[in-house]
Amino acid sequence: MLGYEAELWKMADALRGSMDAAEYKHVVLGLIFLKYISDAFEEQHARLESERDEGADPEDPDEYRARNVFWVPPEARWDYLKHQAKQPTIGQLIDDAMAGIERDNPALKGVLPKDYARPALDKQRLGQLVDLISNIRVGDAQARDHDVLGRVYEYFLGQFASAEGKKGGEFYTPRCIVRLLVEMLEPYRGRVYDPCCGSGGMFVQSFEFIRAHASGNGNGGRAKADISIYGQELNYTTWRLAKMNLAIRGIDGQLAQGDTFHNDRFPDLKADYILANPPFNVSDWGGERLRDDKRWVYGVPPTGNANFAWVQHMIYHLAPTGVAGFVLANGSMSSSQSGEGEIRKNIIEADLVDCMVALPGQLFYSTQIPACLWFLARDKSGRPPAGRGQPLRDRRGEVLFIDARKLGRMVDRTHRELTDEDIARIANTYHAWRGEQEAGAYEDVPGFCKSATLDEIRAHGYVLTPGRYVGAEARDDDGEPFAEKMQRLVAQLREQQAEAAKLDAAIARNLEELGYGG
């Protein structure tokens, strides 16, 4: 946390007035994005001005595109808008600015919000918002080095999710969960896919992970990253947020808009890594029209719940050594209704389940439904996934269970988050179990983790709830032999009983003296 995100949010939220958070989200995030590309443009513009004598032209769009900087036409530059902020036409001017940027930057076509001129938007408050955002540098080199915009943008997404409840949370996965998924899967190289990508958090965290781990220092001999990303999102406005979220970080990717089940935009994709947080327990996903779909290898998912449609969609899109990590409602680990138990059994018997993690409650802004993480692996023989040079341990016939329900800390009255230490503990346990040399040796820890066999899972009726397997947490051994401890405790109990009898007799005598005797 940079420190001023919360203050910036408080000021921006004060300008919201009666506007709904869902609507206001696009007003604020659109302006922040505009400020970002204008800052980066102005920095490059100043550099070109200083190089005029060498033939540089500050008004040549190609000079910017050559350096991966968006060209900003004069009517869209922040300085111009800032000086017009008090004008009643500021809404139309911002719409024109957004249209001009889309016109001159095809990658942003159809992405930016362009409804600032609508009568319902208070123009005085809009002008104040422009003034407020003018005070932060988000797009120059120093700000980019510290990912100022990314952090402000992410913080605002989280705050909007909290303000909107379920509606906002549909596109926002808490950062700590995304980080945990990425740290466990380690997407160093290959194709990364999210079939319900929301605002793009999985991709952003994947790139942050790569920057942190794949620089050639301390990365266990792994090759430098080279990933390509593929995402699909049903909600049009959320898809636009994802496009902006990636654009501000200079991340290229194929982001498609549409229904993943009924209009799979990447039908032939075989991904090396899949990370996802599908919407929980969706009942109106149109499953009745997909009864014979080729993706349902392990059983036809029920029309009343899309959970196992998502699971099988992801399995279908996994490459031969691909791995997937995704969030699902806890019910997916044990439900037997509408054929879900049979589908789960078939997936387990196909030896696709690698690891299950039970999460603590209150992690999500949008739901109180308890959640878990599933990790699937196409090949558990030890062949490494893309980007890993070293082979892994042969894990065939085994599943790792991790019970993380007691981890995390409360950040406010209603929300919990996993700490850096929690994420490291869970991820390192998985890495050690998979046989990654740098992670050390794996050991079962009662109450936290257990490596179970398929026979054990069969004995539990194919239920994948970690609590069934990890057992009770070990209590500290004080070194006192059991027989001696029992003798001591029994003697102590008799002493306490004798003392209690004396007290009862004393109370009875006092009551008699006061005239309340029996």
Per residue in 95-125, pLDDT tens?
999 999 999 998 888 889 898 999 988 899 8
Residues 426 and 391 in one domain: yes
Give φ, ψ of 255 to 5 degrees.
-110, 115
**Any domain includes 475:** no
Residues 347 and 425 in one domain: yes
- Residue 195: CB atoms within 10 A of its CB come to 26
Which of 162, 196, 220 terminates a domain? The answer is 162
Residues 312 and 450 in one domain: yes
Residues 179 and 125 in one domain: no
Q: What CATH number did the domain enclosing 54 receive?
A: 1.20.1260.30
* 323-333 as b/e: b if 16+ CB within 10 A: bbbbbbbbbbb
**Any domain includes 334:** yes
**What's the pLDDT at 416?**
86
Q: What CATH number did the domain enclosing 329 receive?
A: 3.40.50.150
**What's the pLDDT at 373?**
97
- Residue 196: CB atoms within 10 A of its CB come to 23
* Dist CA 232 CA 242 (whole Å): 10
Residue 245 is which amino acid? Answer: N
Residues 51 and 130 in one domain: yes
Pairing of strands 398-403, 449-453: antiparallel
**Any domain includes 169:** no
**Any domain includes 356:** yes
Across-strand partners of 477?
Answer: none
**pTM reported for the whole predicted model:** 0.78
The 10s digit of each residue's pLDDT in 186-220 is 988 899 999 999 878 888 888 888 777 655 434 44
The 10s digit of each residue's pLDDT in 460-491 is 999 999 999 998 776 655 667 777 878 888 88
Q: What domain range includes position 316? A: 174-470
**Any domain includes 306:** yes
Residues 179 and 152 in one domain: no
Residues 52 and 92 in one domain: yes
**Any domain includes 167:** no
Residues 433 and 400 in one domain: yes
Residues 148 and 67 in one domain: yes
**Any domain includes 476:** no
Across-strand partners of 229?
Answer: 192
Which runs of E-coded beta strand occur in 95-188?
none
With 0-12 / 13-18 / 19 or more C-beta atoms within 10 angstroms meaning exposed / middle / buried, residue 252 is: exposed
User: Is pLDDT of 182 > 70?
Assistant: yes
Q: How confident is the model at residue 280 (pLDDT cuts 50, 70, 90)?
A: confident
| Cα separation values, 436 from 382, 388, 414, Å | 10, 10, 37
**Both structure tokens of 365:** 């802004």
The proportion of the chain whose per-residue pLDDT surpasses 90, expressed as a percent, equals 50
Which of 92, 127, 162 terminates a domain? The answer is 162
Residues 488 and 452 in one domain: no
Number of domains in the chain: 3
* Dist CA 362 CA 130 (whole Å): 35
* Dist CA 446 CA 466 (whole Å): 11
Residues 226 and 363 in one domain: yes
Residues 330 and 452 in one domain: yes
**Both structure tokens of 373:** 């993480």
How far does Cα 322 stand from its chain's mean position? Answer: 20
**Any domain includes 168:** no
